[in-house]
Structure 1
Amino acid sequence: ALNWSGLPVSPEELTDEVFTPARKGSLQTALISAARRHGRIAYISTGMEVIFSEVAAGHPVIILQNLGLSWYPVWHYSVVVGYDLPKKFVILRSGDTARKIMPSRVFAKTWARSNYWGLLILRPDQLPAMAKKDLFLEAVLGLEKARQFRAAIHGYKTALTRWPQNLTAIMGIGNCHYALGELKDAESVFRETVRLHPKEGSPLNNLAQILFEQGRNQEALEAAKKAVSLGGPLSGVYEKTLEEIQAGAP
């Protein structure tokens, strides 16, 4: 799936990254982390209808199967690359087998044992065919947490093509620019966010911090006071920012 998303990573290289000797296999979290380290969006995708829609859109899906028994599990990762509903079979890339045909009934039974766990690995400029806003934004946030800030910026911008003016996505872009030390770009993003979401304190708070770090104390104070006046669940954070600016301002 990483190869499909444009990264020339061999199975051997990926195995070295995600193989867990104690479990004699790869954990789902390790696969997700590996994708993020390579600057790719790891999007959880579950359910037969959902993964078939993704495959139809050209997105192969990594799935986890138990090929053994409930009391003697044999966990195995495969990649769903095709299916034939009339003939009732699924096409998998499994291990060294590039095209494994599995009856739909067997596939469903073995996949159900992992609670229908599936994983899409996408470039930051791609959306899942069946994209859900919160799941996609969470996946992009995973890139940001992995310090893949440039890729995360692209991911958040992709989210905005589907969900324009989304606060989480715009804030994410600003936060990533800030993390990269691009204060002017971050300032521009947060100013635009204030314009689009005038009743939200977070963009004002972040703008205040950036202005303060640039030595523009009076502007920073004004933004911080506005954030505090708006209140909300993060009012304590806004108050702390204001206190720090007041303490540091000449």
Structure 2
Amino acid sequence: MHRLAPLVCAGLVLAACSGPAAPPAVRVAGVPFHAQEGFRCGPASLAMMLGWTGLDVRADTLEAAFARRSGDPRKVLVAAAARYGRFAYPVSGLDAVIAELDSGHPVLLLENRGVAEKPLWNCVVAVGHDRGALLVNGGGQAGRAVSFDLLERLWGDAGHWGLVILNPGDLPVAPRRDGVVAAAANLGLAGRHWEAVLAYDAALARWPGDSEALTGLGASLRLLGDAQGAAEAYRAAAESTSTVAETRDGRRQ
């Protein structure tokens, strides 16, 4: 018994000195690289995100969407992704970004390299993380390590805004109902009604009977010429709204 004690203690000392094991590095596969030349960070980042979903889109073909608008590129990025039939879902905060990367989803990040009064927007694509740093495709380099501290300074001034772009029917790691319905609606506004149907179906699989998703589904089906499907969706939306109202009234009594 006494002979074993020093060995056990030595093991405890070694464990204490080594500390907890670092989490394994994560790298999202299949993200193409487009160099961000000049002021093409937005088009290049969007091309990388769309390429990961299976669309071969050149950065220069996306420049027109950004040239028509100056300033904050968030709305441009979301609308452009929807025009290509992709589900664009904003995320916020490092934990959310890490969760998406761990699930194999790249995340487009918006940085502010200026000051609050005079922002200088820059886009990069997070493709992984390793030992306290994000791995990003940005500028002329793929997989560049950016420490969390530096990221906080650049990304924090842009409101910790990120964008996940997925194939319609897929959902982010921790979806919010309102965000999913809004992303589906953006597809409809872009004229991508079949993709909107897929997104609304995914929302309803997650939140059955949601009246907003059912209403959006009905509108998309109507525009696709499916009158019967649209009527069924509208009917289900009305029934869901009525049930919610009755439940609310019952709680007040």
Whichever residue aligns with residue 78 of structure 1, its letter is V
Q: 1:180-209: per-residue Cα shift (whole Å, max 9, x none)?
A: 232122123334545x537269xxxxxxxx
| 1:94-109 map, 5 Å | 94-109=138-153
Report the secondary structure of 2:169's partner residue. coil
TM-score (norm 2): 0.70
CA distance in 2, matches of 1:98, 1:150: 34
Q: Is the 8 A contact 1:18 1:34 kept in 2?
A: no
- Is the Cα–Cα contact under 8 Å of residues 171 and 193 in structure 1 kept in the other structure? yes
Amino acid in the other structure paired with 1:12: D
Distance (Å, rounded) in 1 between the aligned partners of 2:229 and 2:92: 37
CA contact 1:60–1:81 (8 Å) conserved in 2: yes
Name the Cα RMSD after superposition. 2.4
Question: Is 1:185 matched with 2:212?
Answer: no
Residue 146 of structure 1 aligns with which residue? Answer: 190
What is the Cα deviation at residue 12 of structure 1?
A: 2.0
Stretches of structure 2 that go unaligned for 5 or more consecutive residues are: 1-48, 247-253
Selected match of 1:57 from 75, 88, 103: 103
Q: 1:66 to 1:189 in 2, by over 3 A?
A: closer
Partner of 1:155: 199
| Pairing partner for 1:32 from 66, 78, 85 | 78
* 2:89 equivalent among 22, 43, 49: 43
User: Could you report, residue by residue, the CA deviation over 1:38-82 in whole angstroms, capped at 9, with x for unpaired residues?
Assistant: 011111111111111111111111111123455664321001111
User: Hey, which bits of structure 1, 4+ residues long, moved more than 6 A?
Assistant: none
Question: For the residues of structure 2 that align with 1:198 and 1:157, how far apart are their CA atoms?
Answer: 18
From 54, 75, 85, give the equivalent of 1:6: 54
Inter-partner Cα distance in structure 2 for 1:153 and 1:139: 11
Aligned residues of 2:85 and 2:187 also touching (Cα < 8 A): yes
SS in 2 for 1:33: helix
Q: 1:1-250 residue pairs with structure 2 within 5 A?
A: 1-20=49-68, 23=70, 27-70=73-116, 73-84=119-130, 87-193=131-237, 197=240, 199=242
Looking at structure 1, the residues matched to 183 and 230 of structure 2 have their Cα atoms a distance apart, in angstroms, of 21
Say which structure, 1 or 2, has more relative contact order (CA 8 Å, 6+ apart). 2
d(CA) in 2 for partners of 1:123 and 1:77?
21
Which stretch has the larger CA shift, 70-79 or 150-159? Answer: 70-79
| In structure 1, C-alpha distance between the alignment counterparts of 2:138 and 2:211, rounded to whole Å | 40
Q: Are the aligned partners of 2:169 and 2:199 in contact in 1 as well (CA < 8 Å)?
A: yes
Cα offsets for 1:9-44 (capped at 9, x unmatched): 122222333235x74x77221111110100111111
CA deviation vs aligned residue, 1:217-242 (integer Å, no higher than 9, x gap)? xxxxxxxxxxxxx9xxxxxxxxxxxx
Gaps of 5+ in 1: 202-229, 231-250
Mapped to 2, the partners of 1:74 and 1:26 lie a distance apart of 9
Equivalent residues of 2:211, 2:236 under 8 A apart: no
TM-score for the superposition, normalised by structure 1: 0.71
- Number of equivalences: 197
Q: Could you list the per-position Cα deviations for residues 134-171 of structure 1 after superposition, in whole angstroms to 9, with x for gaps in the alignment? A: 11111111112222111100000011121122222122
> Identity of counterpart residues, as a percentage?
30
User: Secondary structure in 2 aligned to 1:136?
Assistant: helix
